[in-house]
Structure 1
Amino acid sequence: MKKTQCLPQRLALAVSMAFTATGIYAQTDATYPTIPLLGVQDVTVGCKQHIQNYHNDVKQLEQTKNNTSWFAMWDKFNAKQQDFMGPVEILSQVSPDATLRQHAEDCIVEYTKFTTDLYQNEIIYQKFKQSAPRDAIDTKFKQDNLESFEDTGVGLSTEKKVQLKNILEQLTQLSQEYDRNVRENKTKLEFTADQLKGLPESYITNLKKNAAGHYLLGFEYPEYNPFMQLADDDQARQKYYYEFTRRGTEKNLAILKNIMDLRYQMAQIFGYPSYADWATKNRMAKDSKTVNQFLANVKNFVTPLQQQTLDQLQAFKAKTLNIPLSDAKIQPWSTSYWGEKYRKANYQVDQEQLRQYFPTEASQAWLLAITSHLYGMRFEQAQVPVWQKEVRYFNVFDAKTNQFLGGLYIDPFPREGKYGHAAVWPIYGSSTLTKRTPIAVLVTNFNRKGLNADELETFVHEFGHAMHNILSKTRYVGQAGTSVERDFVEAPSQMYEEWAKNLQPLSQLSHYCSPACPTVDQALVTRLNAAKNYGASIQYARQTLYAQYDMSIHAADALQKDPMTVWKNMETQTSLGYMDGTEFPGQFGHLVSGYGAGYYGYMWSQVIALDMLSAYKGNLMDSQVGQRYRQTILSQGSQKPATELIKDFLKRPTNNTAFYQEIGGQRLK
């Protein structure tokens, strides 16, 4: 999940009746707020003008005497910034125009300078300190903003303020360069027809060839993932794996080291021993010690389970190829391939065949429908200006009151220069105070014909983030949607993944297929979940490695560490080991774009997500529970701490029972 980083506090996706698609794709004539399509001049000239206007607004805020309306004035100011910077942020990632993307990135750098000045403004800080909250929401809003000012150095000396400002500006530029090196890598690898054996004809026919008749493959996930799962040629998979990990180029290793050092310097400015300690202080975990202990516990639990799974795969490989067990070691580039082979043999699960069950368009219609049913809403597709012809836009309404809730853009398919993963950008946040409605952009890179089970789960996950934004009904923009603690933000989306794995909602997907597609039945769901449970230990072991690596390079000895050396040493100690020459840290975008010293949050929030599922008591389409979840979690944004939100929904504190069952592959549903 990707978050718009407009504020310093964010420095740092069997039903008894068939759902009807009525209204989902209906055209609507009503006009609602949408994202303006900015051109190059809009961004270059507009950026300077808007930032100058923001500076003028700050001067007016400094002079205001009416502290009783301070929160409202601040909220209006936040919204004004979002109105321009929200569109700039998303266009920097998805615009087909490379020049526009570059100018948008430049604008974000200039905006970072402005926000640093703003949150180092002692006059504005004192306005907040002197403000009088009316209730608990105001109190939380005040505290959140005070923390933002303090985290940007409002209390520092003049010299340290300047130092911090320079660091924040450099971090923004380095993050952009790192992402750009991955996103805009146009390298194409050559493979012969023999090297593509095992891949379906539908995959091969979409590939381009060079003059020699060799197939050309790039680094888009719809090309890479099927190849790694299905290509029989082990050396070809090794080659692709090697190049894929290096797609950020060695430049990104130097950038990552620079980011590590700057973050360490920033922590030192604030008197913290490490960036990890500084970054976790306002999260659920509170400190790096708690995070490291959590990750150590998970590692101790999952490591022997992963080894058991790899031993099974090795034995399966030896039997399949009729080779000695000692010659059948599972390599990092072969886990997906042999895992897929094992699932086909033991669970009759073929990820490519699943695309006929989950056609891309039908999957979208189904997802809109089950979400509508669960949360009491409806989607109406509307024709609005979009940055690329395949982008869709939907107005979202409350089903009972017909109240307009917000707007959703879906940018579904890969293209050159586009953000390469799946993520949601909250462009505009909600504010009941000003009747402001949210807009979210969901970006994916899916196969146009159909999804496999993992991709469907990704779609549902990201849709969960979009709903967290659109169903937000917060008083203030600054507390809208996914502004919650970083180690809670994934929980709503991770919980929603269950709807992509359960018969009750899945059995309805075929109703949206045209032409007809097979219906998901209990036997298939059982096989899918058994297959997924089988690979859970490998997945969680890998996630633990990523999180521990993240914490390690942001520890107190960060200055003495080389990011590639740390990664090589850590991966070498795992059951799969390290492949010489690979450079995973150079393309691990989470490290530089909001999840630095925060990647642990994916597993931390998974504990919460799996526990929250218990409220449905096995009936995932219980709209009464869905409505209660909408009101207690999704609509609240960060108006309350995450621990209170969880208690409001579960009526108790969370526990980790379901999480460890999941890791151990014991959660059969």
Structure 2
Amino acid sequence: MNKLAICISVLFASAPLYAAQSGELLLPNAEQMVQSCQQGIDQAKGKITKLGKLPLNKVNAANTLAEWDRINQLADKIGGPAGLLSEVSPDSAVRATADACNLKMSALMNDVLQSEALYSRFKVLKPKDAIDAEARADILNNFEDRGVNLSKAKRTELLAIFNKIEKLQQDFSRNMRDNQAKISFSSAELTGVAARFLETAKKNAAGQYVLGFDYPEIDAVMGYAESETTRERYYIARMKIGGAANLQILKEVVQLRQQLADLTGYPSYAAFAMRNKMAATPEAVNTFLSDVQSRVSELEKSDIEELRQEKARFTGKADSQLKRWDVAFYEEQLKASRYQLDQKQVREQFPTEPTIAWMMNVTGTLYGVEFRPNAALKTWHSDVRAYDVFDKASQKYLSSFYLDLFPRDGKYKHAAAFPVRGVSVLGGQTPVSVLVTNFSREGFNQDELETLFHEFGHVMHGVLSKTRYSMQAGTSVKRDFVEAPSQMYEEWARRPEAEALFNDTCASCKPIDPKLIAKMDDARRFGRGLKYARQVLYSAFDMALAAKNAGDPQAVWQEMEGKTPLGYVAGTEFPGTFGHIVGGYAAGYYGYMWSEVLALDMLSAYGNNVMDVKQGKRYRELILENGGQRPAMQLVEEFIGRKPNADAFFQEISGQRGASTKTAKK
């Protein structure tokens, strides 16, 4: 996604106009945020107005694209931190003022991108090379998406729609982020949950454990609580944390998006959103989803039957039926009985701090960079740590990133990489990214380990980027490609070539047990049918809401989930928790699987050695450094030396990718 399509931001009025060459971020308090936001918006308007008055016969890359890039750098000064702090600040007042600032910046963006004066200057601009041509095309698309070619009346109507959607998106996110819902259980109801987890859990006056819905709690209850009643209560409560408010917000957003499509001349919001994606049309996406569904349908049924049998064995009831709240629990039971895999062993093998150090060692070795802790950089919470990135060969400073790894009240509930500041080689601005997760402090289980590498893949896409313009930096790529680098990097969490480096950073840690790794690999292959069928369902639901005349989201979900083998769970309200489709992944959730096709095909370039530093260098220079300044498909084809195909992806779905011949045949 183009950076300017995300926000036109502001600058602290007193800050000098020089490019950032360190990882320092402006982290204002609530009062400072309010003051600087308005002052900066006023300053930004002046610069934008000046650009709009540039004589058409004087327009060139140096005075137009370069100036647009400088405006983007101003955006990064406070727009990046404001977007971050609204999701992670422990101070509710800062979160509120950051939210307000984000809305003002979004309104400015929408207004600017309807400027006929600015649009006309980019229309007459003659690019000097392919990078400038790509930048110009992205900018023109952004203006056209905001309706610059429409009549004034329609532009005004469209502007109101965009601003209202932005406010609703923010409300939806805040309802999830600030939700303090808890659910209480007795000790008996939590039989099976690790004692170590319960030792740190809060209790109420009655002595019951009081649990929320952060990932460590979800994993503990859904994966290990032996009581089916406990799991059912927790599952239903978790599926309602968005509340009726979020269901109404999503319904309004869906209606507004159809109005947006009507105004811009598209048959549906999906058609509007798809024109700047690799897939190009809703029909291409739906064909892709149908293809995946046809391949996973029987696998899903097989997985369900195996888990049902595991439930029958565990409960002693031959006629047991599998429920949605059973899936995670019996997956763990099956992995323990079939593969002798216990996630407690995995956490012991991958303790938190040594594992982070190992990941950085793997990444630094692969890409030829060094990560140095920088305690001098100010952070927003004592848990947060900062690192500077240096090129190993030249010892040149490249970028910085922050790690905010553990859950707390008022914090973003999921895992994400925030591209707070994009690189601009032209302007001398270095990039900064922030990794935000909600991991346990007691080591990583298998899923968390892969999530860690996945999100760090996003971070590397940001901080190793070397684009000419900040609007094309790092993850500013087409939405259905953005997940490819991060999905590919999950492989480094499970390959022996990477794991061989573990004790380099922790001599006192237990050596990696190859038998445990083999068990993890075998266990990972189970449940592919359930996993991908669920991904197809989420993607199809997203596309259904983006289609013309979409129905009420909750009703659509009940109908679609009701047709799946495990059915709809009465009383649940999943659409009110599905933040992806309210935010940037609307008509784009399919991109996770679309990107995975490319990710697994790019992995083929490494052959049997993911620590091949020669290929790592090629990948860094070709994929990561180029960000969005070259077409994604062009970069992929150049990296793998051919047109990509989906062979590895469909092998992954069936559990055959990387398996031995014997396992594959079986």
TM-score bin, normalised by smaller chain:
over 0.9
C-alpha change, 1:10 and 1:82, in structure 2 (3 Å) is closer
Residue 46 of structure 1 deviates from its aligned partner by 0.9
Whether contact under 8 Å (2:308, 2:322) holds in the other structure is yes
Whether contact under 8 Å (2:479, 2:591) holds in the other structure is yes
Task: List gaps (5 residues or longer) in structure 1.
Answer: 12-29
- Alignment partner for residue 574 of structure 2, among 575, 584, 588? 584
Distance 2:579 2:355 in 1: 28
Distance 1:551 1:197 in 2: 41
Matched, 1:100 2:94: yes
Q: Please show how residues 537-548 of structure 1 align to structure 2 within 5 Å.
A: 537-548=529-540
Residue 512 of structure 1 deviates from its aligned partner by 3.2
Q: Which residue is 2:549 aligned to?
A: 557
Distance 2:297 2:245 in 1: 33
- Alignment partner for residue 453 of structure 1, among 446, 451, 455? 446
Q: Which residue is 1:55 aligned to?
A: 45
Q: Which residue is 1:414 aligned to?
A: 407
Distance 2:410 2:179 in 1: 8
Residue 449 of structure 1 deviates from its aligned partner by 2.0
Q: Which residue is 1:595 aligned to?
A: 585
Q: Which residue is 1:270 aligned to?
A: 264
Matched, 1:184 2:172: no
Distance 2:21 2:424 in 1: 19
Distance 2:123 2:267 in 1: 28
Report the AA paired with residue 432 of structure 1.
V
Q: Which residue is 1:16 aligned to?
A: none
Residue 402 of structure 1 deviates from its aligned partner by 1.1
Identity of aligned residues (%): 43
Q: Kindly indicate whether structure 1 or structure 2 has the higher relative contact order, using CA contacts under 8 Å at least 6 residues apart.
A: 1
C-alpha change, 1:631 and 1:6, in structure 2 (3 Å) is closer
Aligned-residue RMSD, C-alpha: 1.5
- Alignment partner for residue 171 of structure 1, among 165, 179, 188? 165
Whether contact under 8 Å (1:6, 1:85) holds in the other structure is no
Q: Please show how residues 518-667 of structure 1 align to structure 2 within 5 Å.
A: 518-558=510-550, 561-667=551-657
Report the AA paired with residue 411 of structure 2.
K
Q: Which residue is 2:117 aligned to?
A: 123
Matched, 1:7 2:1: no
Residue 582 of structure 1 deviates from its aligned partner by 0.5
Distance 1:251 1:382 in 2: 42
- Alignment partner for residue 198 of structure 1, among 192, 215, 237? 192
In terms of mean alpha carbon deviation, does 532-541 or 516-525 score higher? 516-525
Whether contact under 8 Å (1:413, 1:446) holds in the other structure is yes
- Alignment partner for residue 302 of structure 2, among 304, 308, 311? 308
Whether contact under 8 Å (2:21, 2:428) holds in the other structure is no
Distance 1:360 1:152 in 2: 45
Q: Please show how residues 328-477 of structure 1 align to structure 2 within 5 Å.
A: 328-383=320-375, 384-477=377-470
Matched, 1:215 2:209: yes
Report the AA paired with residue 257 of structure 1.
K
Distance 2:499 2:440 in 1: 19
C-alpha change, 1:9 and 1:84, in structure 2 (3 Å) is closer
**TM-score, length basis structure 2:** 0.95
SS in 1 for 2:418: strand
Distance 1:320 1:234 in 2: 12
SS in 2 for 1:647: helix
Whether contact under 8 Å (1:9, 1:147) holds in the other structure is no
Residue 6 of structure 1 deviates from its aligned partner by 5.5
Q: Which residue is 2:17 aligned to?
A: none
C-alpha change, 1:97 and 1:6, in structure 2 (3 Å) is farther
SS in 2 for 1:378: strand
**TM-score, length basis structure 1:** 0.94
Whether contact under 8 Å (2:193, 2:225) holds in the other structure is yes
Whether contact under 8 Å (1:503, 1:521) holds in the other structure is no
Report the AA paired with residue 644 of structure 1.
Q
Whether contact under 8 Å (2:3, 2:471) holds in the other structure is no
Distance 2:648 2:243 in 1: 40
Report the AA paired with residue 8 of structure 1.
A
Whether contact under 8 Å (1:611, 1:654) holds in the other structure is yes
Report the AA paired with residue 483 of structure 2.
E
Task: List gaps (5 residues or longer) in structure 2.
Answer: 9-19, 660-666
Distance 1:583 1:543 in 2: 17
Whether contact under 8 Å (2:7, 2:75) holds in the other structure is no
Distance 1:285 1:645 in 2: 16
Whether contact under 8 Å (1:504, 1:621) holds in the other structure is yes
Whether contact under 8 Å (1:358, 1:509) holds in the other structure is no
Distance 2:483 2:72 in 1: 24
Distance 1:271 1:8 in 2: 20
Distance 1:113 1:157 in 2: 19
Deviations 1:398-425 (A, max 9, x none): 0001111101011011100000111011
Report the AA paired with residue 559 of structure 2.
N
Matched, 1:284 2:278: yes
Report the AA paired with residue 409 of structure 2.
E
Residue 42 of structure 1 deviates from its aligned partner by 1.7
Report the AA paired with residue 423 of structure 1.
A
In terms of mean alpha carbon deviation, does 235-244 or 525-534 score higher? 525-534
SS in 2 for 1:393: strand
Distance 1:219 1:319 in 2: 29
Report the AA paired with residue 395 of structure 1.
D
Report the AA paired with residue 4 of structure 2.
L
Whether contact under 8 Å (1:10, 1:594) holds in the other structure is no
Residue 520 of structure 1 deviates from its aligned partner by 2.3
Distance 2:289 2:348 in 1: 38
